[in-house]
Amino acid sequence: MSLMERMARVRVLCVGDVMLDRFVSGSVKRISPESPVPVLSITGMNACPGGAANVARNVASLGGHCTLISVVGSDPVAGELERAVAGIAQVSSLFIHASARATTEKIRFVAQGQHMLRADSEDSQPLAPELEQALLASIAANLDGHDVLVLSDYAKGVLTDLVVAGAIALARASGLPCVVDPKSARMERYAGATVVTPNAKEVQEVTGIDPTEDDAVAVAAGQKMLKDFDIEAVLVTRAHRGMTLVPREGLPAQLPASAREVFDVVGAGDTVVATLALVLGTGESLLEAARLANLAAGIVVGKRGTATVTQAELTEGLTRLGQGSLQSLQGKVFKLPVLLPLLETWRQQGHKVGFTNGCFDLLHVGHLSILSYSRSHCGRLVVGVNSDASVKRLKGADRPINSAEDRATVLAALAAVDAVVIFDEDTPLELIRAIQPDVLVKGADYSVDKIVGADLVLARGGQVLTSELIPGRSTSRIVDTLVKAR
């Protein structure tokens, strides 16, 4: 079972400050005559769950399951936040309502993609004792059945000293790893945590050392934290310098930043924590968890707003970094539900999605020709591969010679191929319906009116193309030659 499949089985219990992130977007074309401030002409507004709720969103988008525990007010913002969280598949919320408490709301005003102003409405007073006890009781009642605990501290009063200490003690008693995204300079609050994820500013506040200077200084800062506080590991997030992992046991590790373009860092820490938790929940090492968290952070900062990373995007990133290893090649072989969000991302990036299909039992130059032709007419190429059962029905009991998994992995090794998906039907019609390719390609032995799914693609304004065949090149001919040579 792959790491991504194991991550999908992990259940995360997330406790912390939740909030509603609201974005007011528009354009600025003039300065107000009343005072020297820009006038924002509003063109859109949207809101999404933030804080610990964004950690839960990231857990779900990466395929995991999350139970979210927090305290909110009894105001309209709380209602909007609860409805938004309820709409996230694989996330369940257990919110405690405090009538005297305002639910945190952050409103960001954005013009031409740039933040102009942020306005916060919040009550960051520590929870009253009765609310602390109710929160701890909820954690104790729900910890069983989960694989990892996350404490998402935004310093809005939910994670008091008592709640933090009690939650970590409960996790340790249950043998669960505890991931903490800290906000307080009083790092002793998080004693007993498996790993804390402070940013450079927070590390400097705690240690007096600026971890952005160089890698050795970052390690020194992390080691000072381990010396001063009862924490198993520190993962220092250093923006464009990447991350530095300093464990109590083992050697430090430097993880270079993987972002290709930075649009927005809002919520990037939530993505790091969610990824760490899911990977640790599978039983993988902290180093592997940090490596994937660093990759996920590099993906999410390339998006605008309070964003998440999908399992498909993380898989694609691993493939890009894998440099041709067998594991990375297998990472290009997708199940359809995982592939579909990746297709949407590709289209948002401006790529046409192409599709072709076949059995590809013994890869030969004829296959390479059609794959190369297909890729030259699109930005990203998806290849559909018939399953073993499908090949037997189409080609006979002696076929396939190679399993579907092997055939898919070989195809994934080709530079022309961006994704491979195995289908069990005799034709790729249902796959084409789901993928909705912009370009559909088959060999020239098919006329366009005989190509399965051509009508669907043409109806959407797509292209249907045929690739010239190389005479005498076919899998059946190769098989016949081998049989005769026996």
Rounded (5°) CA angle 223-225-229? 125
Decide: helix, strand or coil at residue 260: coil
The dihedral over CA atoms of 142, 146, 147, 150, expressed in degrees to the nearest 10, equals -50
CB 164 within 8 A of CB 181: no
Whole-number Å distance between alpha carbons of 292 and 155: 26
User: What tokens does 467 get?
Assistant: 């690739």
Whole-number Å distance between alpha carbons of 116 and 266: 14
Whole-number Å distance between alpha carbons of 34 and 452: 64
Q: Of 357, 485, 372, give the one whose Cα is nearest residue 422.
A: 357
Report the DSSP beta bridge partners of residue 290.
none
CB 232 within 8 A of CB 252: no
Whole-number Å distance between alpha carbons of 107 and 112: 16
Whole-number Å distance between alpha carbons of 184 and 157: 11
Report the DSSP beta bridge partners of residue 107.
22, 119
Whole-number Å distance between alpha carbons of 18 and 327: 37
Measure Cα distances from 450 to 59, 375, 443, 454 in Å: 44, 22, 11, 8
Whole-number Å distance between alpha carbons of 57 and 90: 9
CB 230 within 8 A of CB 192: yes
Angle between the 336-348 and 311-322 helix axes, to the nearest 10 degrees? 80
264, 270, 361, 418: the active-site residue: 270
Whole-number Å distance between alpha carbons of 109 and 132: 34
CA dihedral for 254, 255, 259, 265, sign (positive or negative): negative
* 270 is annotated as an active-site residue: yes
Whole-number Å distance between alpha carbons of 97 and 119: 23
Q: Tell me which H or E stretch contains 171.
A: helix 161-173
CB 440 within 8 A of CB 355: yes
Query: What are phi and psi for residue 254, nearest 5 degrees?
Result: -105, 130
Whole-number Å distance between alpha carbons of 265 and 412: 32
Question: Which residues are catalytically annotated?
Answer: 270
